[in-house]
Amino acid sequence: MFLKNNMSKTIHEPVLLREVLDGLNPQPNQNHIDCTYGGGGHSKAILERIKPNGKVIGIDLDPAVKKLNHDKNLVLVNDNYKNLKKIINELGITKINGVLLDLGLSSDQLGSGDRGFSFQGEGFLDLRFDPTSDRPTAAEILKNYSEKELLEIFKNYGEEPLAWPITKQIIAKRQSGEFIETADMLVQLISEQYRKKYRHKSKHNPATKVFQALRIAVNDEYGNIEQVLPDAINSLAVGGRLAVISFHSGEDRIVKHFFKNAAVKDFPKIKIITKRPIVASDEEVLKNPRSRSAKLRVVEKI
């Protein structure tokens, strides 16, 4: 996950913190992995429970993560969580008791206009978690992908109800020599389509689903999730737990199906701890609105 260099000034609200701690149940001298370190809120809470000799390995795509470590029990790694197996092997850790995947954007990302994560401002539409990656930016996707490819991204990754008119308008602007390269340009285009279709203003920004879809495509988020889940289970010691927080139906569907298949009766690898996903309380949603769509699922290695 992307971190700002001045992130120490940012208030980070870890989602479902109490529920994550209950699910992972970290104990003194255990080793846990936070695959999406972000603002470090979950990791810091886990750290307090695994001392004096336990370790928390925090993984993050932003190089700035290496400058943040001031705790001897915390090991920060600048990498993609899809490389979990390699990371564990390189660190030489033989026993992992808990793994956390928080698939949401951190508070720092949500406030970042410079890479287009924020709807506000003129930030370039990058949307890559790793700015040094050779993957195409969101602006490049909007400029170069075919009408069919854009439509599939908006429908499959964003479940955008106006995917077709939005795609048509992007293509029309391209044909006239106008390219959507900044966040505010994309927001304006989407808002215009919503005003044509709906009289009443939505409670949520109409650009939310398109930005989500582009971010997933840019970072191959679904592919990363599908790769890390089996590696996370395999890395756990017997009795160790994996907790996953998802924020939209596509993510949750991948996690749910993987857990279901891994818990088959004949040769089960895991026991499902949360029969239904845990969601944020009304109180938490009031304090931290981004927790509104969060779903937590927990399984145990057997």
**Residues marked as binding?**
40-42, 60, 81, 102, 109
Measured CA distances, 79 to 58, 76, 100, 184, 221 (Å): 10, 9, 15, 30, 14
CB atoms under 10 Å from CB of 5, counted, come to: 12
Query: What is the 3-class SS of the chain, one letter each residue?
Result: CCCCCCHHHCCCCCCCHHHHHHHHCCCCCCEEEECCCCCCHHHHHHHHHHCCCCEEEEEECCHHHHHCCCCCCEEEEECCHHHHHHHHHHHCCCCEEEEEEECCCCHHHHCCCCCCCCCCCCCECCCCCCCCCCCCCHHHHHHHCCHHHHHHHHHHCCCCCCHHHHHHHHHHHHHCCCCCCEHHHHHHHHHHHHHHHCCCCCCCCCCHHHHHHHHHHHHCHHHHHHHHHHHHHHHEEEEEEEEEEECCHHHHHHHHHHHHHHCCCCCCCEEECCCCCEECCHHHHHHCHHHHHCEEEEEEEC
Residues placed in the known binding site for S-adenosyl-L-methionine: 40-42, 60, 81, 102, 109
